[in-house]
């Protein structure tokens, strides 16, 4: 069972060959690492995941985190994992040396985390949020806060969270009411936060919350939000002292049951202290560093769940005999032995859909991580700005495509198992429940889609879109060198032109000031554009496989390379054509969503 949740060979092919991690390793910041050191790291992570993560996956679902006697009770493996995360560098990996980190490229950190996510998606969130919170402190907080909190977070001794959502506000952060009142060199924090992942759990010595709140007199809306470090237990000269952060309840979920989600009250006894991070009223800007990192993490987690589900259903299809194949007469021979279900064309179609979604999504995650590395570590300011813009436009897609299409992929995995897929004896139903939250985490699909169309496509007068188009055109040009890839390269070029037509149609509403109509179909646009982006990534995968075969590269088998090319062809046949219908929807100017808001429309 230990090897059935991830394909390390595919991960390494995408990391080394397709996304060329060496380009990042050549940067001065990451010069201490080479392919051999990364190979050792990934192999050790896989060994750890086999022993300490995957064996507890079903157990954590069957024994969920829960609220009891004022505490959140979690599986004992959570505390063990946090400790191991500190010792093995899962937390400190991407932090610079001066902060006590390993200064790993983000591409490598995400590859490591992907293995862990695939092994047991209930656990990595505890570490992921701690990483994000510590990173935010190192970027924006003063030296005292850094010295007080970051070292214990990087060792896994203390956990971290981000606290945004409130009961009355939901995703509308402009409506948060948690207050911060000056109190000497600190602030008195008062308010509630809900849906706080890893917000509290027995076994953690301390939890460091990054809390959005309003200082009295601050401007209304998002412009008046500040950010505070609010520990569950505040450090003093005598040790840790309770900081009036109360867990009042938890949320019992349909999936990821081992990953606790809490309802917190700050300042029930008016003794909750928080410390301002950076400048007042800049909290949301600071928090976006953590939120954007978390969005890539959500996409990576969804990719990992889809990957694990693919391997589970593939294993079943290779073992389950059922039915018989059609003979040349178009009939079945009842005297033949039953065939394995993987030999049925419709089962193969469902498995290939899972394969192209999961492997393509992994390439998307690694590509986005690469843009992050280049945006922070490239020597030239012009290069850093280029990759910053590419990172901006990719982030809503890397969060959304794996979450939405991963859900479709896992659902197909359930279908491969037929009736057994719906039964708790088999793991597919758990993967389907676990992945469902991904489209909601860190900004729903609708929010990400409006971000893509309303901000990222138009930012800097379309500069980010222009840069991404240039990247895609470069891939198209390189692929034209292979005669067998020319039809696919041309098809992708045609879809780029179609994108311009779609945007020209939609922009007409924005130019007239009808922004509600402009963004009404943002989610279909997300599906349209991310499908095209994924075809670009699959073209790259196919081209690298073709290059390896022609050069006689024996690092992987010929069957391995052929499987990548076949998957690329499948994507272009079954997935990319869907953009034609989506374009028709997007360019249909008839109003359907922004009129008739009267209740009778939904009668």
Q: Residue 596: its pLDDT value, please?
A: 56
Average pLDDT value for the chain? 94
Residue spans per domain, the chain: 8-154, 160-281, 444-592
pLDDT band at 572 (very low <50, low <70, confident <90, very high): very high
Q: Give residue-wise pLDDT tens across range 533-553.
A: 999 999 999 999 999 999 988
CATH of segment(s) 8-154: 1.10.540.10
CA 167 to chain centre: 25
DSSP state of 242: E
Residue 228 and residue 274 in contact, taking contact as beta carbons nearer than 8 Å: yes
Whether pLDDT at 597 is above 60: no
Q: How far apart (Å, rounded) are the C-alpha atoms in residues 403 and 305? A: 10
Q: Residue 324: its pLDDT value, please?
A: 81
Q: Give residue-wise pLDDT tens across range 103-113.
A: 999 999 999 99
Whether pLDDT at 364 is above 80: yes
Q: Residue 1: its pLDDT value, please?
A: 44
Q: Residue 595: its pLDDT value, please?
A: 58
Q: Residue 2: its pLDDT value, please?
A: 45
Average the pLDDT over 336-352 and give the result: 93
Torsion angle of C-alpha atoms 470, 471, 472, 478, degrees rounded to 10 = 100
141 phi and psi angles, rounded to 5 deg: -90, 165
Whether pLDDT at 507 is above 60: yes
Query: If we measure between CA atoms, which residue out of 466, 479, 461 comes closest to residue 543?
Result: 479
Average the pLDDT over 401-417 and give the result: 98
Q: Give residue-wise pLDDT tens across range 183-239.
A: 999 999 999 999 999 999 988 899 999 999 999 999 999 899 999 999 999 999 999
Average the pLDDT over 408-424 and give the result: 96
10-14: which pairs have CB atoms within 8 A and are 24 or more residues apart?
A: 10/359, 10/362, 11/42, 11/111, 11/114, 11/115, 11/362, 12/39, 12/42, 13/544, 13/556, 13/560, 13/564, 14/359, 14/362, 14/363, 14/366, 14/541
pLDDT band at 337 (very low <50, low <70, confident <90, very high): confident
Residue 453 and residue 525 in contact, taking contact as beta carbons nearer than 8 Å: yes
CATH of segment(s) 160-281: 2.40.110.10
Q: How far apart (Å, rounded) are the C-alpha atoms in residues 159 and 133? A: 9
Q: Residue 600: its pLDDT value, please?
A: 67
pLDDT band at 589 (very low <50, low <70, confident <90, very high): confident
HEC profile of 138-158: HHHCCHHHHHHHHHHHHCCCE
Average the pLDDT over 95-118 and give the result: 96
Residue 397 and residue 364 in contact, taking contact as beta carbons nearer than 8 Å: yes
Exposed, middle or buried: residue 431 (CB in 10 Å: 0-12, 13-18, 19+)?
buried
- Angle, vertex CA 508, rays to CA 506 and CA 513, nearest 5: 110
Q: Do domains 8-154 and 160-281 have the same CATH topology?
A: no
DSSP state of 598: S
Q: Give residue-wise pLDDT tens across range 124-172.
A: 999 999 999 999 999 999 999 999 999 999 999 999 999 999 998 877 8
């Amino acid at each position: 069972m230990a090897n059935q949740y991830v394909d390390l060979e595919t991960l390494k092919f995408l990391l080394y060959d397709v996304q060329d991690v060496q380009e990042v390793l050549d940067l001065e910041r990451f010069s201490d690492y080479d392919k051999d050191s990364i190979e050792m790291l990934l192999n050790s992570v896989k060994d750890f995941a086999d022993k300490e993560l995957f064996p507890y996956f079903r157990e954590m679902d069957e024994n969920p985190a829960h609220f009891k006697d004022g505490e959140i009770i979690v599986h004992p493996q959570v505390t063990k994992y946090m400790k191991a995360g500190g010792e093995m560098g899962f937390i400190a990996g991407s932090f610079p040396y001066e902060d006590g980190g390993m200064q790993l490229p983000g591409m490598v950190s995400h590859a490591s985390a992907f293995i862990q996510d695939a092994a047991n998606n209930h656990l990595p969130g505890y570490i992921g949020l701690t990483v994000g919170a510590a990173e935010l402190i190192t970027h924006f907080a003063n030296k005292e806060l850094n010295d007080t909190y970051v070292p214990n977070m990087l060792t896994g001794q203390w956990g971290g969270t981000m606290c945004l959502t409130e009961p009355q506000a939901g995703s509308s952060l402009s409506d948060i009411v948690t207050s911060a009142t000056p109190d000497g060199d600190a602030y008195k924090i008062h308010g509630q936060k809900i849906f706080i992942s890893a917000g509290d759990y027995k076994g953690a010595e301390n939890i460091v919350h990054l809390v959005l709140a309003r200082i009295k007199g601050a401007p209304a809306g998002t412009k008046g939000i500040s950010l505070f470090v609010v520990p569950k237990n505040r450090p003093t000269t005598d040790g840790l002292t309770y900081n009036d952060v109360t867990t009042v309840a938890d949320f019992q979920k349909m999936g990821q049951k081992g990953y606790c989600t809490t309802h917190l009250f700050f300042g029930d006894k008016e003794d909750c202290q928080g410390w301002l991070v950076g400048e007042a009223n800049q909290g949301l800007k600071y928090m976006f560093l953590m939120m954007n990192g978390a969005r890539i993490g959500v996409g990576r987690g969804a990719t990992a769940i889809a990957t694990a589900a693919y391997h589970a259903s593939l294993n079943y299809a290779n073992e389950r005999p059922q039915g018989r194949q059609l003979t040349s007469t178009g009939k079945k021979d009842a005297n033949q032995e039953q065939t394995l279900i993987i030999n049925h064309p419709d089962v193969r179609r469902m498995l290939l859909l899972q394969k192209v979604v999961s492997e393509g999504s992994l390439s998307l995650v690694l590509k986005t991580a690469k843009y992050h590395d280049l945006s922070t570590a490239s020597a030239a300011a012009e290069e850093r700005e280029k990759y910053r813009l590419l990172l901006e436009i990719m982030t809503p897609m890397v969060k959304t495509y794996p979450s939405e299409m991963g859900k479709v992929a896992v659902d197909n995995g359930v279908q491969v198992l037929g009736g057994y897929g719906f039964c708790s004896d088999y793991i597919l139903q758990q993967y389907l429940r676990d992945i469902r939250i991904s489209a909601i985490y860190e900004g729903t699909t609708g929010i990400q889609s409006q971000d893509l169309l309303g901000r990222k496509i138009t930012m800097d007068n379309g500069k980010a879109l222009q840069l991404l188009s240039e990247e895609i055109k470069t891939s198209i040009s390189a692929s034209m060198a292979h005669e067998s890839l020319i039809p696919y390269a041309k098809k992708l070029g045609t879809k780029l032109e179609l994108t311009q037509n779609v945007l020209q149609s939609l922009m007409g509403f924005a130019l007239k000031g009808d922004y509600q109509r402009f963004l009404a179909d943002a989610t279909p646009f997300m599906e349209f554009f991310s499908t095209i982006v994924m075809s670009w990534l699959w073209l790259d995968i196919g081209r690298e496989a073709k290059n390896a075969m022609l050069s006689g590269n024996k690092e992987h088998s010929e069957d391995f390379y052929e499987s990548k090319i076949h998957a690329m062809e499948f994507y272009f046949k079954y997935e990319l054509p869907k953009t034609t219908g989506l374009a028709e929807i997007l360019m249909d100017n008839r109003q359907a969503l922004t009129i008739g808001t009267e209740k009778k429309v939904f009668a």
